[in-house]
Structure 1
Amino acid sequence: MSLVEKTGFFPDYYLNLKNSQSSIFDVQVAKIAACRNDYERLTFVEQFPGVRERDAELQVRRVYAGKDADTAAQLKEKGNQAFKAKNWFEAMLFYTRSYMALPEDKASERAIILANRSATLFHMEKYDETLIDVKRSIDWGYPKELLYKLYERQARCYLAQENFPYAIDCFKKCITALDDAKVPADKRSKLCLDCMTMIKLLERDPKSSKQAERQMKLGEVKLTMAIPDEKEFLSEAVRIDQNYAEGRFARAATDITVGEEILVEKPFVAVLLEKFAKTHCDNCFIRTAVPVACPKCADVLYCSEECQSKASSTYHRYECGILPTIWCSGASINCHMALRVLANKSLDYFLNIKQDIEKELTIAEILKLPSDDYRRVSHLERHEKTRLPSNFFQHTLMARFLTKCLAEAGYFGATPKAEDLNTIGGIILRTLQFIQFNTHEVAELHAKKADGNEKTVFIGGGLYPTLALFNHSCDPGVVRYYRGTTIHVNTIRPIEAGLQIAENYGPIYTQEGREKRQAQLKDLYWFDCTCDPCLENWPTFEQLPTDVIRFRCDGPKQCRAIIEVPATCNDFMIKCVTCGESTNILKGLKVMQDTELMTRTAKRLYDAGDYSKALNKFIDLLKIMYEVLAPPFPDFCQCQQHTKDCFLHLGNFYNLN
C-alpha cells in the first residue's frame, strides 16, 4: 500500500518542496543515504532546505467540526417527522445523526434523542437495542416526569423476549414513576391499571418463578452491542522458524488436516477506513445501528460504552480532533496505523524502551514478549538496506508530519522537547517501514440474498504480529476471516509435518498468471516469489486442463509422485515414472464420482444459509480429494473456494438487503 493517496495536501506539500529547488533537489535528497539510523534521518529532514519554511502547508490543527446544537435540533425534528410517518428506519438514522451532532454539554438533549431512538427501535422489534438506548437515556438524565414511558418500554421489550421477572420489575417501576408524571388523571389510572394487570398475569405464570431462580444463580446479564472478547490462540502444530534463505516463517510441527484453526490473534494496531467511520465501531470495527458517540468530536462512533472507553483512554485521546487533518492529508491507512501505534502508548513508554528497540532478538525471545510490547512488531521486515534515498526521504517527511499531529494533540505536553520529538519521529519512521510490508486488510463479507451476490469489502487495516511471520504462497495453505478486528486462520488443505504453512499476500494462481502475480508481489513486498505455482507456472483456473486427471502414486513404495492420466484412458493400472510401481486409479475414479454427490449436498446447504454444515461437507470433500488427487485441478480449486466462502460467513458479515 502506498504512502499517500492520490489526493490530499501532503502530496501537494511534497511537490511544492521538490519544485522549489528542482535543480538540486535529487542531489540534496541523496545525502540522506549517509544517515546511520532513523533518528539521524529525522534530523537530516528537519534541516533540509525549505522543510520548516513550508510547515504551514501541512495544515496540522485540532478541529471539532460537526458538533452543533442547532444542527442536532434540525436533525431531531426530521427524525420526529419520520417517526410520525412511521418510517422507523429513517427516523432512527436521523436520531443517530442528531445524537452525534450534539455538543458535549447537552446532556439533557442527548437523553431525549436516545429515548426517541429507542422508540423507533421498539417499533422495528430490535428489543436488545431498545433496552440499551433506554438505559443510556436514563443514565443521561431523562426528564423525571417522563420516565414512566421508558420503564413501560423496557417492560414491553422484556415481555416480547419472554423475560418475565425483568418485565414485572419494569412494570413496577413504571407505576412508581407515574407519581412524577404530568399526565391527566384518567390516563394515569388506565396506565397504572394496565401495569398492575400485567404484573398479576406474569406473577401467576410458572415461567416467572423458574426464570427468577435461574437469574438469581447466574446474576444480571449486561446488555451490550460489544462483541465477546476472544482468547488468542496459536496451535501447537505451528512452529515459527528462521533461516537465511526464507527469513522467519511458520512450519508445521505435526501433520495438520484441512479446516483446523491454527491461529486466533488480535491486532497490535488496527485502523478503520474513513468511509466506514460513521457506520462501524472505530475500536472493534463492528457495524453498529445504535452507536455511542465521542462527546468531543463527530468523526467516529463506537458500538458500545466499553469500546468508547477503551479508545478514549488510549489512542483516541490524541486522535480526537486530529482525524480530519489525517484524512485530508492524503496519508494512507498505513500511515494512520503508524500514528496509532504511538498514540496507544504514552510518551514515557517509548522513551523508556528506546535503547531496546535496536537490540536483536531471537524468535523465541520475541514470541515471549507481551502482546502489546512494541518490540513484538519492531523487528518485522522493513527492507531498510534496500530502500532508495528518495523513499527514505518521503517516509521521513511523513514521520515528521505524523509527529506534528501528535504534538498538536498534546502527546508531548504543553512544551515538547526537541529530543522527544526526534525520538518519537524516529520510532514512527521505523514503524512506517515495517507496516508497509506486514499489514492485513480487515474485511467484511457483503451479501445480497435476493440475487445471491457476495463480495469481500476492505473496511480497515490491521497488524498481526504472529501472522506477519507467515510467508507467502500463490497457493496458500490457510484462509483468513475476521470477527471484528480479531483474525482467525484455518487450514485450507492438508499440511505435512516439516512443511511451511504459507498464507497469501494478495494474488493467487487461480486468478492471476505468474507474470502478473510476481510483478505485484515485487512492487508491493519487494521479493521474488518462488512458491510451487510460480516455479512450475501453474495455469489459472480458466486454463486448468479438464482432459487430464492428476492422481497421486499409490504404489507399494508410497512415493506420492504425481501421475497425469488422460480422461479418455481405459487402463486402470498406471505405471509411475518416479518409482516404477503401478497405481490402481479405480479408487481415484470412484472418489471423483462420490464427490460429485457430496458437492451438490454441500452447495445446497450453503444456498440454504446453513454455513456450518456446508463447511463440514466441503472440508470432508477436500480431505477425500487430496488423498488420491493432486492439485491443481478444477474440482479441488472450486471446493477450496467454497470452503473459504463458508469461513467468511463465520466472521464479519453484512446483509445488504
Structure 2
Amino acid sequence: MDCTCSFESLTKKFFRVLLLNNKLLELRVNIRSERTTEEMFSYIWRLDEAQRFLTPVLIPPTKSESVSFMHWREGESAYRIHDLDTALQYYNLAILSAPHPDILADNAEAHDREMYKALAQGYESRSIVLFDLQQYEKCSEDIDRALQLSSYRISCKMLEMKARCMIFISEGKDKTFDASAESLKSYPESFAYTNPKPPKLTEVNPTMPSLSSSVKLAYTPSEGRHLIADKDINPGEIVSVDDGYCNTVFMETSVVHCTVCLRRSMTPIPCPNCNMVIFCSVECRTDGMSGIHWQECPILPTLFALDMKKCPALAYRIMMKTSHAKLKGMIPLLRLEAKKKSPKNHGFNKEGIYDEKHYRSVYHLVTNKEKLSSQELLRKCIQAFIITKLLHLSGRYFLTSDGKPFTPSRKDIILTGSTLVHHMMNLTCNAKAITSLQVNVSISQLHHGKMYGSGIYSASSLMNHSCNPNCSAFFYGKTEVVRAVHFIPAGKQLTISYGEIFTDKSRASRLVSLMTRYHFQCKCEACEHSWQPLSDVSPLPLLKCTNCHEAIDSFTQVCFKCCINYGKNVGKNAAPYNYKLISKKIEKFQDEYQIAKENIFIKGNYSDRDMKVVRVLIKLLCKYMKQPCPLLMDAMNTLCYLFDKRGSCVYYQNDLELPCAIS
C-alpha cells in the first residue's frame, strides 16, 4: 500500500495547509453539531484546500501476467513437496491476477489463447491439486474453464482427468465435509469449512418481516426505538433473519470470501477486471458484475490504498446500491419524515411496514449527531468528501436514466455528500461485524470468532445494548440470524452486546468504551448493580426470590426482604415455586449439562438431547437463579458455540489457523 495515498496522509496535508492559511478557526465554526449535514459538507466542498489535497488519485484495477506467473511458480514449489493447501492458495492468487476475457465464451476459439495463457495455466494447475484433494466436482469445473482457454496439448490431459472425475463422482467418491470429529482429522484444511443455508422464521412479524412474531417494537424517549418480547421466548429461539440491506467483505479477507454472498470459497472465480475480490460461483459473478461489484470495481484499489477503515467501504456500497436517481427523489422526503414523523414510526412506509430491504429503514437509523464532537464530525465530513470524489471518478454513480454518465451539478454533489455524512454517522453506531467461528480441530475448546465483513441490518439494529445480553447474532455468509440465548419473558427488552460484556471488563472500563463510541450511559442490570467480572463472582449458585430478585437463604428457604417462604408451597401464602423441587431440577440438569459439555467439546460429537439439556438449563437458571451466575454464562457460551457451528464455520488443526491469503 502506498502510504502517501492513505486517508491519514491526505488529511495531514489538508490540515497543514489550513493551518498555514489561518482557516482552522473558520473550520471549527462551520463543522459542529448545530449545523446541518448539508451546511457542513457544503463548507468542506467549497474549500480550495479540500479540492487540492483531499481529492484521491485514482489507481486503476489491473491484471498482470507476470504477477500471475510469480504466484503460479510458488504454487508449483509447494505442490512439488506435496503441500497441497499452500499450493491451492498460490494457484488461487495466480488465477485472480491473470488477464481475463470479459466473459468466458462457450467456444474456446473466441479467445486469443496466448493472451489468457496465465489464466488457463492457473485453472489447469488448480484442477490437479483439487483432484489430489479428492474434490472431483470442483476439479471438473476447473477443467472446463481451462479447456475453454487452453491448447490442444493441455486439453488432452485435461479431458482424461475429467473422465476420471466423472467416474469418481458417479461412484460417490467426491470428498465431502461433514464436520464430524473423525472427518476433521483426515480432511484437507483448505475445505474444512461449512457454508450452510440459513434457517427461516417460522412465524413472521406482520409489520417487520425480518423479525419473529414473538417480537414487537417499543419506544421511550430515554431508550429510543427498541424491541421487546411479545410473548415468552425460549433459549435458542430465532428472533430475526435478515440478509441485510448492504454488506461488504473486508479487504484482508476478500480473496477467500465471495464479494456478493460473503460465503467462504477456496476455489474462487475471479473478476474479469480486478484482482481485489472473488466470486464463489458463476451465479454470484453474474450478480456482482451486473450490480454492486461492477459499480465499485474501478475504485477498489484506490479505496484499499486510502485505508479509511470499515464504514466508508460500506457507505460506498449503500450509495451505489440505492443509486443517485433514487436518492435524489427519496432524500428530501426522508428528511421531512425525520422532522415530522414520531420517532417510533421512523423507517415505516405508508402501509405501516418496516421493510429492511428498503433504503428508508437504513436512513432512519440513529446517527447521534448531536452528541458528536467537532473533531468527529470533521473526520466524517472528510470521509464523505473523498467517497463523493470516488463515486464521481468511478463513472458509474452519476448516471442518466439510460445508464450514461453525466457531470453532476453542485446540487447533486451536495445531496450525495451530505447523505454520506449522514451514513458516516449512522454506520458508526449501527453497522455490524460479520463473523465466522474458527474451531481448533485438535482441541475443540479452543475457538474464537473472526470478522470477515460488515453489514447493515436495520431491524436487529433496533436492539439496545446490554453488558449481559439475552440475544446473539450468528452468520450464514451475509445472512444474520439472531437467537435468544437467555429465557426472555413477555414484556422484557431484547438486547445484544455492542462489544462489551460484563464477564470480561470492569464496569468503569465498559462505560468509558460505550460512551466513547456509542455516546450513551449504559444502564443495563450489570452496570446498574455493578456486577463484577466473572472471575470475581462466587461460583456458588443461589436461588432467587422472583419478587425482588435477591438471594433466598438456603438454610431457611426464606427471602428475608419479601418475607416469602419458598419452602411452603400450599395454602394462601404459597411461594411462587418450591425451593427443594427447583433445586433438585437444576442439580439434575447441571449433571446432564456436564455430560453434554464433554460430548460437545471433548468428544466433538453431540446430539439433539445435548442441545436440549443446554437450553433447558439456561431457562431454569434465568428464571430461578440469582444473577450474575457463572453457570448461566458458561451454558450461554456453550449454546452460542453450538449455534455458531451451525452457521459459517472454519476448522483448523493444531495451533495454526489457516491463513486467508498469501501476500
- Category of TM-score, reference length = shorter chain: 0.7 to 0.9
Structure 1 window deviating more from structure 2 (29-38 vs 483-492): it is 29-38
| 1:335-354 to 2 correspondences below 5 Å | 335-354=312-331
Candidates 446, 455, 458, aligned match of 2:448 = 455
TM-score (normalizing by structure 2): 0.81
The residue type equivalent to 1:596 in the other structure is Q
Query: In structure 1, what is the Cα distance between the partners aligned to 2:279 and 2:559?
Result: 64
- Alpha-carbon distance change, 226 to 114 in structure 1, aligned in 2, over 3 angstroms: farther
Structure 1 window deviating more from structure 2 (345-354 vs 421-430): it is 345-354
In the alignment, which residue of structure 2 is the partner of 1:409? 394
Candidates 616, 631, 650, aligned match of 2:612 = 616
Candidates 125, 128, 132, aligned match of 2:137 = 128
Report if aligned partners of 1:598, 1:621 keep a CA contact under 8 Å in 2. no
In the alignment, which residue of structure 2 is the partner of 1:599? 593
In the alignment, which residue of structure 2 is the partner of 1:564? 551
- Alpha-carbon distance change, 226 to 459 in structure 1, aligned in 2, over 3 angstroms: closer
In the alignment, which residue of structure 1 is the partner of 2:649? 653
Candidates 406, 420, 423, aligned match of 2:415 = 423
Candidates 282, 288, 301, aligned match of 2:278 = 301
In the alignment, which residue of structure 1 is the partner of 2:168? 160
- Alpha-carbon distance change, 459 to 30 in structure 1, aligned in 2, over 3 angstroms: same
Shift of 1:64: 2.0
1:410-450 CA-to-partner distances (Å, cap 9, x unmatched) read: 02225333322222112111111111110111112112222
In the alignment, which residue of structure 1 is the partner of 2:37? 38
Shift of 1:229: 7.3
- 3-state SS, counterpart of residue 249 of structure 1: strand
- Alpha-carbon distance change, 29 to 227 in structure 1, aligned in 2, over 3 angstroms: same
2:241 counterpart of 1:264: yes
The residue type equivalent to 1:53 in the other structure is R
Report percent identity of matched pairs: 22
Candidates 623, 628, 632, aligned match of 2:628 = 632
Shift of 1:541: 0.6
TM-score (normalizing by structure 1): 0.82
2:485 counterpart of 1:476: no
Report if aligned partners of 2:227, 2:462 keep a CA contact under 8 Å in 1. yes
2:60 counterpart of 1:72: no
Query: In structure 2, what is the Cα distance between the partners aligned to 1:227 and 1:415?
Result: 45
Query: In structure 2, what is the Cα distance between the partners aligned to 1:145 and 1:275?
Result: 38
- Alpha-carbon distance change, 129 to 416 in structure 1, aligned in 2, over 3 angstroms: same
Shift of 1:281: 1.7
Shift of 1:227: 6.2
Query: In structure 1, what is the Cα distance between the partners aligned to 2:515 and 2:348?
Result: 30
Shift of 1:579: 5.0
Say what the alpha-carbon RMSD is for the aligned residues.
Answer: 2.8
Query: In structure 1, what is the Cα distance between the partners aligned to 2:46 and 2:639?
Result: 55
How many residues of Structure 1 are paired with residues of Structure 2 in the alignment? 581
Report if aligned partners of 1:61, 1:408 keep a CA contact under 8 Å in 2. yes
In the alignment, which residue of structure 2 is the partner of 1:368? 353
| 1:147-186 to 2 correspondences below 5 Å | 147=155, 149-162=157-170
In the alignment, which residue of structure 1 is the partner of 2:366? 381
Query: In structure 1, what is the Cα distance between the partners aligned to 2:368 and 2:242?
Result: 25
In the alignment, which residue of structure 1 is the partner of 2:661? none
2:562 counterpart of 1:578: yes
Structure 1 window deviating more from structure 2 (629-638 vs 287-296): it is 629-638
1:80-129 CA-to-partner distances (Å, cap 9, x unmatched) read: 55545544334333322221111124446534431331121011111232
Shift of 1:295: 0.8
Query: In structure 1, what is the Cα distance between the partners aligned to 2:52 and 2:562?
Result: 71
Higher relative contact order (CA 8 A, sep 6+): 2
- Alpha-carbon distance change, 402 to 480 in structure 1, aligned in 2, over 3 angstroms: same
The residue type equivalent to 1:580 in the other structure is I
1:355-400 CA-to-partner distances (Å, cap 9, x unmatched) read: 2221325157257254432111101100122333333222112101
- Alpha-carbon distance change, 256 to 427 in structure 1, aligned in 2, over 3 angstroms: same
Query: In structure 1, what is the Cα distance between the partners aligned to 2:68 and 2:58?
Result: 24
- 3-state SS, counterpart of residue 153 of structure 1: helix
1:299-323 CA-to-partner distances (Å, cap 9, x unmatched) read: 1112112222222222222321312
Shift of 1:141: 4.2
- Unmatched tracts of structure 1, length 5 or more: 1-5, 167-224, 554-558
Report if aligned partners of 1:121, 1:129 keep a CA contact under 8 Å in 2. yes
Structure 1 window deviating more from structure 2 (440-449 vs 359-368): it is 359-368
1:252-304 CA-to-partner distances (Å, cap 9, x unmatched) read: 11111111111111121212222112222222222211001111111111211
The residue type equivalent to 2:250 in the other structure is L
Shift of 1:342: 0.8
Point out the structure with max Rg over C-alpha: 1
The residue type equivalent to 1:299 in the other structure is M
- Alpha-carbon distance change, 155 to 296 in structure 1, aligned in 2, over 3 angstroms: same
In the alignment, which residue of structure 2 is the partner of 1:17? 14
1:5-42 CA-to-partner distances (Å, cap 9, x unmatched) read: x9963223223322334354034322334975322222
Query: In structure 2, what is the Cα distance between the partners aligned to 1:111 and 1:468?
Result: 45
The residue type equivalent to 2:161 in the other structure is R
In the alignment, which residue of structure 1 is the partner of 2:637? 641
- Alpha-carbon distance change, 441 to 364 in structure 1, aligned in 2, over 3 angstroms: closer
The residue type equivalent to 2:38 in the other structure is Y
Report if aligned partners of 1:270, 1:337 keep a CA contact under 8 Å in 2. yes
| 1:178-327 to 2 correspondences below 5 Å | 228=197, 233-327=210-304
- Alpha-carbon distance change, 36 to 624 in structure 1, aligned in 2, over 3 angstroms: closer
Query: In structure 2, what is the Cα distance between the partners aligned to 1:575 and 1:42?
Result: 60
- Alpha-carbon distance change, 229 to 130 in structure 1, aligned in 2, over 3 angstroms: farther
Query: In structure 1, what is the Cα distance between the partners aligned to 2:539 and 2:143?
Result: 61
Query: In structure 1, what is the Cα distance between the partners aligned to 2:236 and 2:67?
Result: 52
Structure 1 window deviating more from structure 2 (525-534 vs 38-47): it is 38-47
Structure 1 window deviating more from structure 2 (154-163 vs 370-379): it is 154-163
Query: In structure 2, what is the Cα distance between the partners aligned to 1:610 and 1:34?
Result: 55
Structure 1 window deviating more from structure 2 (270-279 vs 43-52): it is 43-52
- Alpha-carbon distance change, 27 to 604 in structure 1, aligned in 2, over 3 angstroms: same
In the alignment, which residue of structure 2 is the partner of 1:215? none
